[in-house]
Structure 1
Amino acid sequence: MSLDLQKHFKKFHEAIELGNLDDTKILREKRDLLIAELNENLEDGLSFAHFNQGSYAMGTGIFPKDGDYDIDVGLLFNATTDDYKNSVELKEKVYDALDRASRNADIRRSCVTVQYVRENVPQYHVDLAIYAKDPNEYSNDIYIAKGKRNSDADKKFWEKSDPKGLLAKVNKYSDDPDERAQMRRVIRYLKKWRDKTLGGEKPYSIALTVCVLNHFIPKRNFNATYNDLEALILLVDTLLFVWGDGLKAMLPVEPFCDLNADLTDIQMSNFKKTMETLKGALLEAADCDLETDACKILRKQFGDDFPVPTEAETSQKTKRAVAPAGASA
């Protein structure tokens, strides 16, 4: 690995990172608007505490390929699972309080989604996960409402969950903030790779995040600078090594489930083949003699946001690096 491609990975990350406050301003405004409306319109004296979750809270978001920005919000109600035996009933109360002609509300399996559309094109949406407390007053456990309106009875249930615990796992991955930063970059790279090569739907972003969280090892060069290409190669190699009958994305907090469990055999097989192709491309890029050639290989995996320097740019750098004797003091 004689080439130093870190500067190109840095530019790539700057292009895909959804981290700028201006990028997410509209999402925060819509979130706050919905929270205010819920507080005003909820019936039965219901109250709740809200918190951010998902990629927005974890700092792992990327610009969406279809332009449909999203933010995940948890709503922990001052109610127990015994108060609402039917988990969808509480979702329906949230839906009724927020449904408007100017936006589309939908009860999904794990959340209530409020979609904003402009000229029939989705612009951004807010996913509201609905939580209730344990009936045992001495327990701190919380449960997420699962199920849709027309789901069978066995598909409507409360599932123990720990969204704040997962956020803490990501935030406390390492005591070194630079190592945490590299892990977040790698998560973003894999999301972008998924969007480019697998269509962007499955595996879900949270599953990719958990796979990285469970298996990531930071990589630096001998001069202590971080090397994202080596980190990616090691991670992908590890994921393929532990694959077995399928790549498990085991949630390290409640409910301790496999987030890839709903992938079909065909989806899992395609996932593996595509990741094997990624591994080959990463190794090929690392073995290139020219930065331009390496970046062209990486662009095929990660999309057009990955920069490709011109041969003139790289040759110019080479000329400056090999200055004639006496040219510098």
Structure 2
Amino acid sequence: MANTHNQFLKFEQAISLTLPRKNKLIASRQALQRRIIEYFKTKTTLPVPKFYIQGSYKMKTMVVKKDGSYDVDLGVYFLTKPSVEPITLQKYVADAVKDQTVSGIEHRDKCIRVIYKGDFDIDLPVYYKTLYDKHPFLATKTKWQESDPKELCDWFEKQRKEKDKGGQLLRLVKYFKAWAGQRNKRMPSGIAFSIWVATYYKANLRDDIAFYETAKAIRNSFFWETISRNPATPGDDFLAKLDYTQKSNFKEAFNVLIRDAEEALQQDSQLKASNIWLQQFGDKFPII
């Protein structure tokens, strides 16, 4: 049985942010925070918001995409209920950051996206949470929607601490996200894979075997329906935006992944096994 554990470790390094890119991201995030603070101090009568890094950066599962880019979520939090409509509050945040980059912004339904073309995007979801609210409320273009990304991050961290002390669970999430990013058809989101891995994680001394066993456990959960349920508020399905055909395409590709993983593990040399993994993970997966 070919052992490609070390190749997996090298692959994890290849798809992770380098220190210079992390530093650039931190500087960009801080610049956005300063702009937003200054805008609300000088151009509105609303209170100055607080900020919370969330999503894959907070979970330590961020990967660089196939095109070399990546996304970051920076939550903008108001500690009193704003006196304006949610879309108006989004527009204030958009106005504050619209000139931060040459590529500008996108006003999406649930966030303002600041585009650093060819590098990364920073998404700015806007929330409020008063002392009397159990969970935050997210601003969308049409309404306030109860949503608690911190609760989700806390759930994920609890799962990780209970099940894994050596960082393997985090690495597996990155492998699955990188695999999905190599597919030509629409796949589940990174957060969907994060929930699946945290729920169905199968530990092993080797990452290649852990990946294979965890993939099988995830597939077994699809017996009745293919979902990735948010364990935090609002309890939505992270696959809700995938239609029947897209889910079928995913399950077919996932079956091929598991088949190829089993074949790779059965090879009599690292070179043969690595070439099989390469077909699933792309050219960042090392052959030697």
TM-score under structure 2 normalisation? Answer: 0.92
The one of 122, 125, 147 aligned to 1:126: 122
Q: CA RMSD in A?
A: 1.9
Matches within 5 A, 1:131-280: 131-134=127-130, 137-147=131-141, 156-175=142-161, 179=165, 181-199=167-185, 202-219=187-204, 226-244=205-223, 246-280=225-259
* Paired letter, 1:218: A
| Aligned-partner SS, 1:79 | coil
- How far 1:125 sits from its partner (Å)? 1.8
Based on CA coordinates, which of the two structures has the bigger radius of gyration?
1
Gaps (5+ residues) in structure 1? 148-155, 220-225, 310-329
CA separation in 2, counterparts of 1:284 and 1:197? 20
Asked whether 1:96 is paired with 2:90, we answer no
Contact 1:173 1:180 in 2 (8 A): no
Instruction: Please point out which of 254, 261, 271 is paired with 1:282.
Output: 261
Q: Is the 8 A contact 2:139 2:145 kept in 1?
A: yes
| Range with greater deviation from structure 2 (168-177 or 270-279) | 168-177
1:112–1:179 CA distance, 2 compared to 1 (3 A): same
Is contact 2:61–2:173 with CA below 8 Å preserved after alignment? yes
Per-residue deviation at 1:128?
Answer: 0.6
- The alignment partner of 1:173 has SS state of helix
SS at match of 2:285: coil
TM-score of the superposed pair, with normalisation by structure 1:
0.81
Identify the residue that residue 55 of structure 1 maps to in structure 2.
56
* Greater relative CO (CA pairs within 8 A, separation 6+): 2
Task: Provide the secondary structure at the position in 1 that maps to 2:21.
Answer: coil
- 1:138: Cα distance to partner? 2.8
Separation of aligned partners in 1, 2:96 and 2:254:
43
What SS does the corresponding residue of 1:175 show, helix, strand or coil?
A: helix
Q: How big is each residue's C-alpha offset from its partner over 1:181-202, in whole Å with a ceiling of 9 and x where there is no partner?
A: 1111111111111111245x53
8 Å contact kept, 1:179–1:218:
no
Equivalent position of 1:222 in the other structure: none
Percent of aligned pairs with the same amino acid: 28
When the two structures are aligned, how many residues end up with a matched partner?
A: 284
Give the aligned residue type for 1:171: E
Gap runs ≥5 in structure 2:
none
How far off its partner does 1:177 sit? Answer: 8.5
Q: Render the CA deviation track for 1:259-316: whole Å, top value 9, x for unaligned.
A: 001101111000000000000001001111111111110100011111113xxxxxxx
Would the alpha carbon gap of residues 267 and 9 (structure 1) be closer, same or farther in structure 2, given more than 3 Å must change? same
Distance in 2 (alpha carbons) for counterparts of 1:245 and 1:176: 27
Moved over 4 A (4+): none
Give distance in 2, aligned partners of 1:198 and 1:215: 26
C-alpha displacement at 1:15, in angstroms?
1.2
Contact preservation (8 Å) 1:187, 1:209: yes
**SS of residue in 1 equivalent to 2:80:** strand
